[in-house]
Amino acid sequence: MKAPPAGAEAPASADGRPRVYKTGMSRGWWLRRRHYFLYIVREFTSVPLALWLLWFLVEIQRASNGPKGYMPHSSPAFVAFSVVCLGFALYHSITFLSLAGVIIHVKGVPPRVIVLSQFAMWLLASVVIAAVLIGFAR
């Protein structure tokens, strides 16, 4: 924000009302640069991830229908929805974990190593999750 010029502190306009500073932000500012656009995409990843988690909650709840009533989602539309969500999920993971080098400071450990450790944790967690989900199947 630009500082007001000297002597411009709250000058009354012609009709006596104080002038209000208006922020200059156009509707489509985020479409103007690739960097801005990717920032908005990063923030938007919340929406598909939230929808997928809510679907997951529904799948858990469906187990209360009993063995006859339990039907896991299998439609092509659901798979397509998951593919889209996976894209956003990966974008969230990569951007979020890459920030760890800026957020976490450990004396004597370079930020690159901290970021690498976060990605290693992601890999390890993914392997464990897949192993449990597949290992307990029949």
Query: Hey, which residues between 8 and 27 contact another protein (CB under 8 A)?
Result: 25, 27
Q: In Å, how far are 33, 41, 82, 83, 102 from 36, measured between CA atoms?
A: 5, 9, 26, 24, 20
- Residue 72 is a binding residue for another protein (CB under 8 A): yes
Nearest-approach distance from CB 108 to another protein, in angstroms: 23
CB 109 within 8 A of CB 91: no
Nearer residue to another protein within complex by CB, 13 or 64: 64
Give the one residue of 37, 38, 46, 113 binding another protein; rule: CB under 8 A: 46
Q: What is the dihedral of CA 24, 30, 31, 35, to 10 degrees?
A: 130
- Residue 79 is a binding residue for another protein (CB under 8 A): yes
CA 66 to chain centre: 35
Tell me the C-alpha distance between 52 and 85, whole Å. Answer: 7
Start-to-end CA span in the chain (Å): 61
The stretch near another protein (CB under 8 A) out of 1-9, 11-19, 39-47, 105-113 is: 39-47
Residues of this chain that bind another protein (CB under 8 A): 25, 27, 30, 40, 43-44, 46-47, 49-50, 52-54, 56-57, 59-61, 63-64, 66-67, 70, 72-75, 78-79, 81-83, 85-86, 89-90, 92-93, 96-97, 103, 118, 121-122, 125-127, 129-130, 132-134, 136-138
